[in-house]
Structure 1
Amino acid sequence: MGIQDIIEGKKQWRAHMARVKALPPDYQIVYKEIQRYMFKVGPVDSADGPLLSGILDFFEEGVSADRGVLELIGDDVAAFCDDLIKDSRTHADLYQQSIGEKPGTAEK
């Protein structure tokens, strides 16, 4: 990864976060909880990729339809997240796999 890739990635992330800040406060709170959950437990392949962008698109559509955030996702943020990543390999899966192996045989 070169310096240009890092700079471009930062630009994209800042633009993404600017979109988040444009959401109503209740949407921002829920988005940040989803983001925190995804970074902790979420899919290995796309912690900052299309999943979070898709959620942001979904939230922006909800705002334009004048719907509350809990109408869109329900009362349980973790259950909503778990449903999104149910078929993905997660950080939790990697951890469980690593503690289940014999010492010195962990994946590298």
Structure 2
Amino acid sequence: MPDAEKSGFIAKMIGPKKRWRAYKARVAELPENYRTGVEAIERHLMHFVPIDGDANASMFEDLADLFEQAAANGTPIREVVGEDPAEFVKEFAENYSDGGYVPARARKQLTDSIERAAGGQTGAEG
């Protein structure tokens, strides 16, 4: 794929580069387990949510907001995403698009990644 096409695709997927870089900087500042959770959700979204640059940029910014607030409040990751991370991502993405088909294997990969990020957090602490 030529560079011009690649950058056009990236802009459609993630929105303007400046917004994407700002989002990634925010995620990098999160505590490790929250960052791991956001990155797992991000990967899932990148593969299975229809491309819409502006909506996707807003979606990722809102994802960062959600996890920043959770980290600041000490809210466990499981309390944020619930017991079914794939369902959480599906519902989260539906706020920004018409959603998309997510294969079972991808749902399991997301669930396993969130499980690792959540560690021993159950959502019952606090």
| TM-score bin, normalised by smaller chain | 0.5 to 0.7
State the 1:91 CA deviation.
Answer: 5.1
Q: Is it true that 1:68 corresponds to 2:76 in the alignment?
A: yes
- The corresponding residue for 1:53 is 61
The alignment yields a C-alpha RMSD, in angstroms, of 2.6
Contact 1:43 1:85 (8 Å CA) reproduced: no
**Which of 24, 27, 44 matches 2:51?**
44
Partners of 2:18 and 2:51 in 1: CA distance: 22
Moved over 2 A (4+): 9-12, 43-48, 85-93
Q: 2:98 — aligned with what?
A: 89
71 and 92 in structure 1: CA distance in 2 versus 1, 3 angstrom threshold: closer
| Higher radius of gyration, 1 or 2 | 1
Q: Paired residue for 1:105?
A: none
Between 1:11-20 and 1:43-52, the stretch displaced more is: 43-52
Does 2:19 align with 1:12? yes
Question: SS at 2:56's partner residue?
Answer: coil
Quote the offset at 1:62 in angstroms: 0.9
**Residue-pair matches, total:** 87
Q: In the alignment, does 2:38 pair up with 1:31?
A: yes
1:5-50 per-residue CA deviation (whole Å, 9 max, x = no partner) reads xxxx333322211110111111111111111111111143256311
Residue segments in structure 1 that go unaligned for 5+ positions in a row: 2-8, 94-108
Contact 2:20 2:57 (C-alpha < 8 Å) held by counterparts: no
**Structure with the largest fraction of helix:** 2
Q: Identity of aligned pairs, percent?
A: 29
In terms of mean alpha carbon deviation, does 66-75 or 18-27 score higher? Answer: 66-75
Match for residue 3 of structure 2? none
Conservation of the 8 A alpha-carbon contact between 1:62 and 1:69: yes
CA displacement at 1:60 relative to structure 2: 0.8
Three-state SS of the structure 1 residue aligned to 2:63 is helix
- TM-score normalised by length of structure 2: 0.58
